Amino acid sequence: MTGAPLDLITVIERMAPGAALTKTWPLEGGISSRMTAFEFTEGGARRQAILREPGKWAFRQNAKVAAHEYMLLKGMGEHGVPVSEPLYLDEENNPPRYLVVAYADGAPDYRPERAEKIVKRAAPALAAIHNAPLDGFRGLPDQNDRWRRIIYGAEKQMDADQGELRIRKRLKRLWPPPFNPPVVQHGDFWPGNYLWKKGKLTAVIDWEDAGIGDPLYDLAVSRLDLLWAFGKKAMESFTAAYLKARPVDTATLPVWELCVALRPLYNFSEWASLWPAQGRSDITEATMRADHKWFVKNAFKRLSKAPAPTWP
């Protein structure tokens, strides 16, 4: 995380001179950003907003993370993607260290009985993100190149239990795969980042991991997280709904699934610890590891049945 929380009164004075802070409360659930909700009055109107402060890890990955998130919220909102309205971007620091967004009414829904409706309504939102024109988003990180660095980067340790060495060896053999035309990627499109109210998707949140690259990366991220949250049927239903909304060549999807399988390594304990607070004590480190092994095994199985992808 960043250092001490920012002074909200100072932030509000910069954002809306003359406005008055009336209430604040912390928001839970953010791993890569500190989030503080607050209420303020401006011109007699009462409004609610969220101060988002990306953490040190996010800034190490992308020094312009706050500016990019502001740009993404503005641009995606203009293209019909449900997002929080961006209200203010830090003007005191270069690059900016924080942004303020309108409070989005809604909450994530992790109820297994709602899984089918959730995935069928969330998938078109991911398709809409990928359909947004690249113009205006060109400064985002190149995710395909980022994955090249991850795959070929030196590793000081290996998660033998989850098959990390085997995954890395296969990825080095297959990299680079033929890429689909690049799109804006959300980077972390999972159930914790969709907000719902009365069955309606009100906002897609947390854009710190966004970049430009192959749409199959986002699809692979969603597939693994949905497997953990709702199971194999929901994972496949989401995939079918996404491809119906936005057809794309999925020949290299198993390659991207192996990339995605590297993300939770060394993080299983931390990620699993968040589930009980969401009413899902059935999701544990053990269940996540077991699902991860199946996910990797399934990717290898599909790769073995098809020729190794090559450049055209």
The predicted structure's pLDDT at residue 4? 46
Confidence of residue 159 (pLDDT cuts 50, 70, 90): confident
Integer Rg of the chain from CA: 20
Confidence of residue 2 (pLDDT cuts 50, 70, 90): very low
List the 45-54 sheet strands across, edge first.
20-26, 33-42, 45-54, 99-102, 86-89
d(CA 96, CA 64): 7
Residues 6+ away with beta carbon under 8 Å from 91: 14
Confidence of residue 3 (pLDDT cuts 50, 70, 90): very low
Residues 6+ away with beta carbon under 8 Å from 172: 151, 152
Confidence of residue 57 (pLDDT cuts 50, 70, 90): confident
271 in the same domain as 134 = yes
Domains in the chain, number: 2
* CATH code assigned at 149: 3.90.1200.10
φ, ψ of residue 285 to 5 degrees: the values are -60, -40
- Least confident stretch, 104-108, 125-129, 292-296: 104-108
Is the Cβ–Cβ distance between 2 and 34 less than 8 Å?
Answer: yes
Residue 282 located in a structural domain: yes
The predicted structure's pLDDT at residue 311? 42
| pTM for the model | 0.92
Q: By residue range, what is the domain housing residue 18?
A: 8-102
297 in the same domain as 164 = yes
pLDDT at 289 over 70: yes
pLDDT digits (tens, 9 = 90+) for 181-217: 999 999 999 999 999 999 999 999 999 999 999 999 9
267 in the same domain as 178 = yes
The predicted structure's pLDDT at residue 188? 96
pLDDT digits (tens, 9 = 90+) for 254-286: 999 999 999 999 999 999 999 999 999 999 999
pLDDT at 5 over 90: no
d(CA 92, CA 73): 20
165 in the same domain as 95 = no
Confidence of residue 312 (pLDDT cuts 50, 70, 90): very low
Helix (H, G, I), strand (E, B) or coil at 118: helix
**If you count them, how many residues does the chain have?**
312
128 in the same domain as 255 = yes
148 in the same domain as 194 = yes
Q: Residues 25-30: what's their mean pLDDT?
A: 72
